[in-house]
Amino acid sequence: MESNVTLQNTFESELLLRSLIDNSYDGITIVNPQGKNVWYNKSFLRISGLTTDQLNNYTAYELVENGWLEKAVVIDTLQQKKTHSSILKFPTGIEALVTSTPIFDNENNLHFILNNVRDITQLNKLKRDLEETNALTKTYRQKLQEVQLSNMNGSHIIYQSPPMEKIIALANKFSGVDTPVLILGESGVGKDVLANYIHSVSGRNDKGPFVKVNCGAIPEHLLESELFGYEAGAFTGANRQGKAGLFEVANKGTIFLDEIGDMPYSLQVKLLGVLQDMSIQRVGGTKSIPIDVRIIAATNANLQEMIKEKRFREDLFFRINVLSLNVPPLRERPEDVFALLVHFLNFFNNKHNMKKTFSPTLMNFLLGYHWPGNIRELKNFVERVVVVSDEETIDETLLPSNIRNARSEEINTVINDDFQNTTGLTIKEMLDEHEKKILSYYMSKYRPLKKCAEMLGIDLTTLFRKKKRYGL
């Protein structure tokens, strides 16, 4: 009776062991000295993609010879009778770490080979993702360093228009306090230059750095550690000594959070806490680190609409919007266009050791263009034509089509607005009516009349004659 109980217990233990191994997440196979599979679990079938027919009827050598496997690690173990490991990619697309371990009998003869097959597809994907994000972060840091170490002193703002004069006057007032500032405006209007200006004329200029952070340029899962730093071992791939965040780097100075509208909603809560307590806590840390930082934020997004859509926190908006500056687009301050054209022409002439000038016709085109890309578009245009032009005088032949066609679109708008009013007129009368409206439009927009004539491409005498003819 006792013997039967022992046998039953042994049988049940073996069934349990087989069930546990069969349900292991790792693939497991047992191969005999001839390379034939004598046992395998369900996970190996899943990982390898091999069928039971292939595993039951073919040796490891034959599986490779028939092209069902690129390589079999067990073959190396069979030949050398020692443990081998290698990373293989199976026909299923799964990458796995395969370890083949020889098992010997009491007389040291090869008895079986145990193969352990561990799916590392996700692990490798995470590794590649980490390498990619590290590369992005490295590039971002290099750009940040270039900005910080560049020869810009932040106080060099080019403007002539009354709207910008008011903006600069406010910026000077704001520079005297540490209250957060929110700078609004379209992309390319120079929000970063204005933020740098506020820092440069403040008392913080001599105490700490101006640190610019583009909240939309850093991958979302890295932004928190970039802003607040992390402790040693906070996550896989982290620096062993930990790392100070950009808020710590900016201590005693100014941190500029550009495109704050792109900051993840979950991270906005932590930023709100920093604004309230003036302290940060590193990722993976428990210690509160006090900071002394002036915060300037900027965005081209409509934050109030984002609040309605639950994409931006209302309490954070009120915290950063104590003092605000709304930088108008270039089309609303045409006086600045001329100043910027002259400035960038001189800048790129010096940079490329050239002496280029704009022809009067080209300058008139540029002054009449609406610059949808604002200062960034204007700057890029000037550098391109300075480099591309073969002549000392840059003329309108180098104009891109968007600028060249701007005047045609402007004229078409004027004509189409009142076209219905020409019904019943002869062709000559319609042409006269259109010419009158175009002249009236240009004379109201461009002063003096000499400039108006140049924009229309006619001489001043002709403009006076037409003006008299139409009673303008």
Question: What does the block give as tokens for 175?
Answer: 């520079």
Between 428 and 203, residue with greater pLDDT: 203
Between 320 and 245, residue with greater pLDDT: 320
331-404: same fold as 127-328?
no
Residue 323's pLDDT is: 94
Identify whether the C-beta of residue 61 lies closer than 8 Å to the C-beta of residue 35: yes
pLDDT at position 434 over 70: no
Residue 145's pLDDT is: 38
Between 47 and 123, residue with greater pLDDT: 47
Among residues 219, 209, 217, 220, the alpha carbon closest in space to that of 244 is found at 209
- Domain ranges, ordered by start, for the chain: 17-119, 127-328, 331-404, 407-470
Q: Given 3.30.300.30, 3.30.460.80, 1.10.3720.10, 3.30.450.20, which CATH number is that of 17-119?
A: 3.30.450.20
Of 243-252, 352-361, 378-387, 444-453, highest mean pLDDT:
378-387
Q: Which of 197-211, 247-261, 359-373 has the lowest mean pLDDT?
A: 359-373
pLDDT at position 10 over 60: no
Mean pLDDT of 124-131: 58
Residue 149's pLDDT is: 32
Mean pLDDT of 204-227: 88
Is CATH 1.10.8.60 the classification given to domain 331-404? yes
- Kindly give, in sequence order, each residue whose CB lies less than 8 Å from that of residue 174, ignoring residues fewer than 6 positions away: 181, 198, 323, 325
Torsion of CA 336, 342, 348, 351, to 10 degrees: -110
Three-state SS string over the chain comes to CHHHHHHHHHHHHHHHHHHHHHCCCCEEEEECCCCEEEEECHHHHHHHCCCHHHHHHCEHHHHHHCCCCCCCHHHHHHHHCCCEEEEEECCCCCEEEEEEEEEECCCCCEEEEEEEEEECHHHHHHHHHHHHHHHHHHHHHHHHHHHHHCCCCCCCCCCCCHHHHHHHHHHHHHCCCCCCEEEECCCCCCHHHHHHHHHHCCHHHHCCCEEEEECCCCCHHHHHHHHHEECCCCCCCCCCCCEECHHHHCCCCEEEEECHHHCCHHHHHHHHHHHHHCEECCECCCCCEECCCEEEEEECCCHHHHHHCCCCCHHHHHHHCCEEEECCCHHHCCHHHHHHHHHHHHHHHHHCCCCCEECHHHHHHHHHCCCCCHHHHHHHHHHHHHHHCCCCEECHHHCCHHHHCHHHHHHHHHHHHCHHHHCCCCHHHHHHHHHHHHHHHHHHHCCCHHHHHHHHCCCHHHHHHHHHHHCC
d(CA 288, CA 108): 62
* Percent of the chain clearing pLDDT 70 (strictly above): 80
Residue 409's pLDDT is: 58
Among residues 181, 208, 214, the alpha carbon closest in space to that of 321 is found at 181
Residue 106's pLDDT is: 84
Question: What does the block give as tokens for 254?
Answer: 């100014």
pLDDT classification of 192: cutoffs 50, 70, 90: very high
Residue 151's pLDDT is: 32
pLDDT at position 162 over 70: yes
Q: Which of 139-153, 282-296, 325-339 has the lowest mean pLDDT?
A: 139-153
Per-residue pLDDT tens for 50-98?
A: 888 888 888 989 888 888 888 888 888 888 888 888 888 888 888 888 8
Question: Rounded mean pLDDT of the chain?
Answer: 80
pLDDT classification of 451: cutoffs 50, 70, 90: confident
pLDDT at position 141 over 60: no
d(CA 428, CA 430): 5
pLDDT at position 125 over 80: no
Question: What does the block give as tokens for 13?
Answer: 């233990």
Mean pLDDT of 254-271: 92
Rounded to the nearest angstrom, the gap between the alpha carbon of residue 363 and the centroid of all alpha carbons in its chain is 35
Q: Evaluate if pTM is beyond 0.85.
A: no
pLDDT at position 355 over 80: yes
Q: State the CATH architecture for 127-328.
A: 3-Layer(aba) Sandwich (3.40)
Are β-strands 84-89 and 393-394 bridged in parallel, bridged antiparallel, or unpaired?
A: unpaired
Are β-strands 110-119 and 27-31 bridged in parallel, bridged antiparallel, or unpaired?
A: antiparallel
pLDDT at position 268 over 70: yes
Mean pLDDT of 441-468: 77
